[in-house]
Amino acid sequence: MHRSIVPPYLLARIAENAGDRAMPAAARAAQRALLSDGPVRLAGARAPRYADFGRGGAAASGPQRTIHDAESTETVPGVVVRREADPATGDPAADEAYDGLGATYALFASAYGRDSIDGNGLALDATVHYGDEYDNAFWDGERMVFGDGDGEIFRRFTVSLSVIGHELAHGVTQFSADLPYQGQSGALNESVSDVFGSLVEQHSRQQTAAEASWLIGEGLFTDAVEGRALRSMSAPGTAYDDDVLGRDPQPAHMDFFVDTLEDNGGVHINSGIPNRAFHLAATAIGGFAWEGAGAVWYDTLTRGSISGETDFDSFAAATVRVARARWGRRASQSEAVVDAWRTVGVEPEAAR
């Protein structure tokens, strides 16, 4: 299953409304994106298995990136256009993808000592120019895939570093906890990707928690859209309010949790609740968020303290245990984590 940055409910709104707003390309592109949310076609005999991915041996000394061009087809990986240490191609999409993979590697390596997204030097592959005006970007379990957008609602999807970091973070989750992509565990899967997508951007810009925008997908929308980004971690539900897209439906508190069968049980919608909890914890702790709250969330994800049945309560409790192990039970940083979850209506069992 694809882990896509643009949720299906948003694509459905565009497909339904864009044509009436003199945006025929956006309407067609959204319809195609909705229909193509299935396994991508692989060039070659078979899809690689996880065991094939550069495991074993000495740890890599840096990222091993390869950028492919699908040439507007839906066949991946496509033609190689840039490998590790090659000069820039002059193609913005290829070069932004290359730089974004490097920035993501840099966060996990320097902040958490992790060698690539699997922790064992996994080569980082990406495909750009996927499909015809394709309105999405996704992690397919093996590589990053980026569409060029329709030019009316969406720009090319490589333009946002938080999008690149978000999608690669799905790989970190896949190799660490593999939270089922359904219901609350799926919303946590999406939230974790937003957390590290934002941290990749903050780390690259050397921004403190107070300085960061906390927007996911900033810059993706064209000037025709009334919106700042796909999601806001600091204020879920406020990222956009547009005639075509509608209003951002993310809740910021458990009182407004959305029970739905769509979007795998609301994985993109309800991720706003843990997103806000992370933002609250990060800004209360202060400094660089990847060193404070980010380290707690990373340890929670990667050290076996959560299972496939994890919901918001149990994930919150795990972050509190990790925070107390790091700073002490009564430390202000630990209390910041507890208070963040309580503010969004989640009571960590460990804090009772």
3-state helix vs strand vs coil in the chain, percent to 5: 45, 10, 45
Q: Could you tell me the fold of the domain covering 183-351? A: Neutral Protease; domain 2 (1.10.390)
Predicted local confidence at residue 20, as pLDDT: 80
The pLDDT value recorded for residue 350 is 57
Task: List the domain boundaries for the chain.
Answer: 3-176, 183-351
Of the chain, the percentage scoring pLDDT greater than 90 comes to: 84
9 burial via Cβ count (<10 Å: 0-12, 13-18, 19+): middle
CB contact at 8 A, 216 and 230: yes
pLDDT score of 178: 75
- How confident is the model over 329-345, as a mean pLDDT? 97
Which of the two residues, 237 and 56, has the higher pLDDT score?
237
Place of tokens 């609250």: 280
Mind listing the pLDDT tens digit for each residue in 162-172? 999 999 999 99
pLDDT on residue 249: 97
pLDDT at 69 exceeding the cut of 90: yes
pLDDT given at position 224? 95
Structure confidence at residue 1 as a pLDDT band (50, 70, 90): low
- Asked if residue 54 has pLDDT above 50, the reply is no
Q: Is the pLDDT of residue 220 over 90?
A: yes
Q: What is the mean pLDDT of the chain?
A: 91
Q: pLDDT grade, residue 15 (50/70/90)?
A: very high
Contacts 24+ apart (CB under 8 A), 101-105: 101/63, 101/65, 101/126, 101/144, 101/164, 101/168, 102/63, 102/65, 103/161, 103/164, 103/165, 103/200, 103/201, 103/203, 103/204, 104/164, 104/165, 104/168, 104/169, 104/200, 105/62, 105/63
Q: Which residue in 167, 190, 201, 335 is the catalytic one?
A: 167
- Higher pLDDT: 328 or 35? It is 328
* Identified catalytic residue from 2, 129, 268, 279: 268
166 is an active site residue: no
pLDDT value at residue 309: 78
- pLDDT category at 37 given cuts 50, 70, 90 is low
Label residue 43 by pLDDT band (50, 70, 90): very low
Indicate if 268 belongs to the active site: yes
CATH number for the domain whose boundaries are 3-176: 3.10.170.10
According to the model, what pLDDT value does residue 57 have?
A: 34
